[in-house]
Copies of this chain bind each other. A is one copy, B any other.
Amino acid sequence: MVALESLKTQDRLLDRQAASSIRRQIVSGMMPPGHRLLETELARNLEVSRGTIRSALMQLTSEGLVCQVAFTKWEVAPASVHEAWELYTLRAVLEGLGARLAAERATPASRTQLAKAFSELEKAAKAGNREAIVDADFNLHRTVIGMSGHGRLIQQHERLIQQVRFQMTHIGLTARDYHHLLEDHRALKDAVASGDADKAEQLARTHNSAEVERLLAESVKEKSAAAGRDSPG
């Protein structure tokens, strides 16, 4: 049976649609960090009222993509190594919990779904399609979290992913080589599918911790390079 799409979906509300539109533009990099958001301009472009835009901007603020200075302005959230550090440290523990619960609750159906998500990643990696790899990567993580049966975790994780994509675009964290990426995910998938909760949690955490390490390493490199330029003598 195909689940009938709920007619009471909230997506038809104008403020949600406006938020989706602006979110896409932020996450895709079209609107860079610090970009000023004018209610009037957005209202004109999206052909809705200012009140609707305000509602959308408030949603995006609660998602961490927009910042508000009361009585003054709205801006796209800043991107920095510290922001990225916050996201990855949070992500490590949230995905750790998700992987543990997923392993404990795996069913034949969810295992199949997980295997499928992994094979999509494999396919993308073999094709070498950069964008498809990123999508499949996030989707695999989303699948694991979805298996947890933890509503709040699922929602927070989704928000986190959007923020990670946003920061990635602007921090310029280089991609890992596909072989290691694939093996990391295979191990995680197998741990979850086999019900090894401890191992699943540990793999999910170290997977993200590794990203933090790479991030900080690159940031140190950049800093020392900048210092070298500043005072080359």
Contacts and interface: CB of A to CB of B under 8 A. Distances in A.
Interface size class of A (residues with CB under 8 A): 20 to 34
The A interface, classified by DSSP as helix, strand, loop or mixed, is helix
A161 interface: no
Contact of A151 (B62, B68, B86, B151): B86
- Per assembly, the copies of the chain total 2
Interface string A181-201: 000000000000000000000
Interface in A60-102: 62, 64, 68-72, 86-87, 89-90, 92-94, 96-97, 101
A126 B16 CA distance: 51
Contacts of A8: 69-72
A12 B70 CA distance: 9
A231 interface: no
Contacts of A62: 59, 62
Contact of A153 (B55, B72, B86, B151): B86
